[in-house]
Amino acid sequence: MQAKTDSTIADKLPARLRRLEELVYNLWWSWHRSARDLFKMLDRMLWIGTRHNPILILREVPPDRLAAAAKDPAFLRHYDAVLMEMDRDLKTDGHWFARTHPATEQPTIAYFSAEFGVHISLPIYSGGLGVLSGDHLKEASDLGLPLVAVGFLYEQGYFRQRIDANGWQEAIYPALTIEQAALKPVLDEGRCCRTVSVEVGNRTVALQIWRVDVGRVPLFLMDANHDGNAPWDRELTARLYGGDQEMRIQQEILLGIGGVRILRALGCEPRVWHINEGHSSFMLLERLRELVASGRDMPTAMEMVKAETVFTTHTPVPAGHDVFSYHLMDQYFQGLWPRLGLSRDEFLALGRADDGHGGGFNMTALALRLSRRANAVSRLHGEVSRKMWRVLWPDRPEERVPIGHVTNGAHVSSWVGSVLHSLFRKHLAPDWVERHDQPTLWEKVEDIPDAELWAAHRALKRKMLSVIRERARVQRIERSASAEQLLASGILLDPEALVIGFARRFATYKRATLVLRDAERLAGLLHDKDQPIQIVFAGKAHPADDPAKRLLQEVFWTALNPQTGGRVAFVEDYDLQVARYLVQGVDVWLNTPLRPLEASGTSGMKAALNGVLNLSILDGWWAEAYNGRNGWAIDPGIGDAPPGGDRDAVEAEALHQLLAEEVTPLFYKRDIDGVPRGWVEMMKNAIRTAGELFSGRRMVQQYAREYYLPALADALAPGPETGRR
């Protein structure tokens, strides 16, 4: 994409507010309340109208508004405080990593991911994996980890969802406007855009490099939409997970091989390489090629690469792992194996997984073979992954298959609602965000008066409902949405009645319609005179996944049906922002995956952090978080019976029983001042569990201690015969 030299923001700012430009170009602002408040103070209507995009705000705000702010003592006080906070965070040392590992040389850890969800103004993510990568970067910044990240700049990285009157999902691909995102082109000495080139089959593709600052962490994004490339090559970085296998192998060549070249070109010398999901596994081949080119033999090169590599696998669904046909591998890699000194068979063996899923070059198998450290993303997923990948270590018992687990976490200050944040300041500690990795801090949740916690929750619930209504108004104005569509989008939801949230990607294994299975029984719960329940759905189906789109349609029809009386709703266009309001504002977070297919799940953690109670199958993170006092487990005791009619029926029955006999009565059991004491007690337990054990901070600290630092030690220690670079 073209980088225009653009000075409109800088030219427009009064001298006293000059540093606003710096602030809006570092996504640090997105998880610091004080900075977000500053933009709200500057222009509240623009803050809402731009969907929280400060770069756009500065472009659109009238100059006299800026001039007035530059003279407003209250604004200036806040402005100075925000910059001081940012400087302390970004320009000083003494963060956790430097404090706890002072003796270590400051290594560079390279983190590769196909998607990053940091903020909606940078739409280069599709779902959970991207949001997790985004949270990883924010936390690495907070902890002062010396990390650099590499990914794609998708021009249409994210589709916006619209549901037509018939409940069918339409995908709209708005093009990213560079000028509206916190992107800076990386320039060379001649102030031209810096590029690297990658051979893709018999072509050479030039990749332009963009930089995004996520606090202290630089995120480098590659972009093939560049003048020097053929028109078809310019499409390579257009969309996330679009196209066929051939498109995909080409994208993954760019991500893995191009990613290594970008870091080299920028002078980064990573000592640890983290492959976040197999999409970027080709980086291993590039690093082998470099080592062999510098004179190592292949066994030595392999040991060196392994020592420095950490690999995280994210899915127990076999189809979720990329496998490329040998035909495609021949086409794109036949030039490489001679350079590695390998025969075709030896080369293809690096990606072999004789797992009964057909032949081909498996990106997860490649990564597992060439990483000394590998992990799954929850305890249960660790067990499943060891079973799944035992084929690579046939002579080992399952428990000795070298795949550990680091359970995912959610970045706490990004996900805790503002009113709760204030409550935590008051009752946990004024600096609770800085200290949230101390377990004793979370014990103090018990000290929050029940009525205050309940009032905070009610405020978040009202906020969510008003956001839902506001979106409906926009649908009405912009698309003349019908009365039925408005009803389905949630405008009739009752703030006093129990609200259950179900929002996530519509993949069939997540079984969005399980709760709707017994329509008659559900109707009884929805319309109960004293204790009604309501359900809010949101989520996107992959545009090519028709079965998932049919599930979505079924949900939408239920929301449209007058019989449900507006008590079932579908909120269109699930994204980071909708997710935020829902995980903060509903009462119950429902999750009904087909165990064990949910590797971890993170939305339930975000909900629990806000005191929203999980009602979930014992899968992924919930299998290790549930303790009987912090939510509910849908567990009819049938284990992992084969999927299908019976299993769905038994689990749906258990869900309805819990709803009718435990969840709903507890919610409506109020004391004299209207506070549901038993419910609030559970909310406190949920907050404690999530804060202590499922924060992004715990996750990144665990990666640092158990994966990055040992990898670094291995990388630095001369191997028995290998010597070092």
Residues that bind ligand PLP (CB under 6 A): 127-128, 131, 504-505, 575-576, 579, 601-603, 606
Smaller CB separation from ligand PLP, 50 or 616? 616
Cβ 559 to ligand PLP shortest distance, Å? 20
CA distance 141 to 147: 8
Smaller CB separation from ligand PLP, 17 or 578? 578
Nearest to 286 by CA among 221, 416, 273: 273
Smaller CB separation from ligand PLP, 194 or 606? 606
Cβ 129 to ligand PLP shortest distance, Å? 8
Cβ 717 to ligand PLP shortest distance, Å? 38
CA distance 124 to 176: 9
Dig out the tokens for 209 from the structure: 């490099």
Cβ 491 to ligand PLP shortest distance, Å? 23
Cβ 599 to ligand PLP shortest distance, Å? 9
Residues 6+ apart with CB under 8 A from 187: 193, 194
Smaller CB separation from ligand PLP, 453 or 590? 590
Smaller CB separation from ligand PLP, 156 or 229? 156
Smaller CB separation from ligand PLP, 300 or 418? 418
Cα–Cα separations (whole angstroms), residue 579 to 120, 274, 613: 11, 27, 16
Smaller CB separation from ligand PLP, 481 or 576? 576
Cβ 564 to ligand PLP shortest distance, Å? 23
Cβ 132 to ligand PLP shortest distance, Å? 8
Smaller CB separation from ligand PLP, 390 or 504? 504
Q: What angle do CA 703, 708, 713 make, to 5 degrees?
A: 145
Neighbours of 384 (CB within 10 A): 21
Cβ 569 to ligand PLP shortest distance, Å? 18
| Under 8 Å between Cβ of 340 and 288 | yes
Smaller CB separation from ligand PLP, 194 or 510? 510
CA distance 74 to 534: 43
DSSP per residue over 147-216, as a string?
EEEEEE--TT-SPEEEE-TTS-EEEE-PPP-GGGTT-EE-B-TTSSBPEEEEEETTEEEEEEEEEEEETT
Q: What angle do CA 124, 60, 576 make, to 5 degrees?
A: 30
Peptide bond into 636 cis (omega under 30): no
Cβ 577 to ligand PLP shortest distance, Å? 8
Smaller CB separation from ligand PLP, 287 or 606? 606
Smaller CB separation from ligand PLP, 390 or 606? 606
Phi, then psi, of 404 in degrees rounded to 5: -95, -160
Neighbours of 44 (CB within 10 A): 10
Q: Which residues partner with 210 through β-bridges? A: 185, 221
| Under 8 Å between Cβ of 370 and 305 | yes
Smaller CB separation from ligand PLP, 131 or 448? 131
Label residues 256-285 b or e (16+ Cβ within 10 Å = b). bbbbbbbbebeeeebbbbbbbbbbbbbbbb
Smaller CB separation from ligand PLP, 133 or 309? 133
Cβ 576 to ligand PLP shortest distance, Å? 5
Cβ 460 to ligand PLP shortest distance, Å? 16
Which residue in this structure is represented by tokens 């033999």? Answer: 297
Which residue in this structure is represented by tokens 């035992």? Answer: 390
Cβ 212 to ligand PLP shortest distance, Å? 18
> Based on C-alpha coordinates, what's the Rg of the chain?
26
Q: Which residues partner with 632 through β-bridges? A: 615
Q: What angle do CA 125, 505, 659 make, to 5 degrees?
A: 140
Q: Which residues partner with 223 through β-bridges? A: 208
Nearest to 598 by CA among 514, 507, 659: 507
Cβ 604 to ligand PLP shortest distance, Å? 6
